[in-house]
Structure 1
Amino acid sequence: MTEIPQDLPIFERDVVRIVLRDAADRILLFHTHEITAPELGQWWELPGGGIDEGETYLETALRELREETGISISPEQVGAPTWRRTASFRHRDRRHLQHEVVVAVRLDRKGEAIDGAGRFDYEREDYFDYRWWPIADVVASSEQFYPRSLPQLLTRFLAGYEIDEPFELWS
């Protein structure tokens, strides 16, 4: 594993990321930036967040989608955590070390406008836009994503492959 920089206090947690796919085969991504590190630029990222104490990955996926997008889903719509990864990045003057699982969620309708009213204040500052991306556009894109490997791994993940991604030092 790559050495984790000792540049900031480390905040370690377990996280669920969600590939939310609509009936038109598009996935939801947030356009974001890190206001304390403008040199990182902007990127597109999967919805998701930290697993609270006593929560399962499934409960976290349901809660995070509701908080970040206003979209409520049933537990049956959440796929198994078949993509596993560990990543580190700078955020708000801390170094995050995240053990992440990625799950697929399929909507039975076309993706619509989202409601971010349930977001934390820092999420309202960080997420300045969103887009429902056609899968082929993500795969072909040269834009920056979190996870960085999303364009390369998305098709395999949605096809049901198990993915154990190497450690990613994102920033």
Structure 2
Amino acid sequence: MNASDEQVPVVERDAVRCVVVDREGLVLLLRSAAGWELPGGGIRPGESLVDAARRELAEETGLVVDGDQVGEPTWSRQTTFRAGYLRRLQAERIVRVAVDASAPAVRTGGRHLAGRRPDQAYRWWPVADVRESRQRFYPGRLPELLVAFLDDQRIVEPFEAWS
């Protein structure tokens, strides 16, 4: 954080991120101004992790999934980042979401579309391409940890300051 961040309200929240995997093993990432990121967002009061994952996925991608398609949260992390006029301090749990289709069409909008054609707002990535890419990802260690996550290893990631 820098000096200007001292004046910014800090909001703590729990969140869920989704590693969406299609039938071919491709992983869905959404394009934002900061790079490529996993779909997901805040968990509302009283909302279960599974329901939050399903809601966020539908809101950000148009994909509708059943609760049994959402896996256990085997990756947990803490992060902080600027979000408009505030700073989020976020406890994230990351789940796998299995999609029984090959690279289904995605409907994005808002910040993911921001000046892009709809087909540029998302991409189904081969895992090897994520690992080898020089692009920026959120979470920042996604290229390094994705294979372990997909192999069902438990991951507890240290704090990440994201700008």
Indicate whether the TM-score tops 0.5: yes
Total equivalences in the alignment = 158
Residue 126 and residue 48 in structure 1: after superposition, are their counterparts in 2 closer, same or farther (change >3 A)?
A: farther
Show the counterpart of 2:139: 147
Show the counterpart of 1:11: 11
Listed as ranges, the matches of 1:81-160 within 5 Å are 81-116=73-108, 121=110, 125=114, 129-160=121-152
Residue 7 and residue 162 in structure 1: after superposition, are their counterparts in 2 closer, same or farther (change >3 A)?
A: farther
TM-score normalised per structure 2: 0.89
SS of structure 2 residue aligned to 1:139? helix
What's the Cα RMSD here? Answer: 2.0
Show the counterpart of 1:28: 28
Show the counterpart of 1:38: none
Residue 143 and residue 122 in structure 1: after superposition, are their counterparts in 2 closer, same or farther (change >3 A)?
A: closer
Contact 1:7 1:95 (C-alpha < 8 Å) held by counterparts: no
Runs of 4+ aligned structure 1 residues displaced above 6 Å come to: none
Task: Give the letter aligned to residue 31 of structure 1.
Answer: R
CA deviation digits over 1:59-82, x for unaligned, max 9? 101111111111111111111001
Using the TM superposition, give the Cα deviation of residue 112 of structure 1 relative to its aligned residue in structure 2, in angstroms: 2.1
* Separation of aligned partners in 1, 2:99 and 2:148: 19
TM-score normalised per structure 1: 0.85
Residue 142 and residue 122 in structure 1: after superposition, are their counterparts in 2 closer, same or farther (change >3 A)?
A: closer
Show the counterpart of 1:55: 47
Q: Which runs of 5+ in 1 are unaligned?
A: 34-41
Contact 1:32 1:126 (C-alpha < 8 Å) held by counterparts: no
* Separation of aligned partners in 2, 1:9 and 1:123: 24
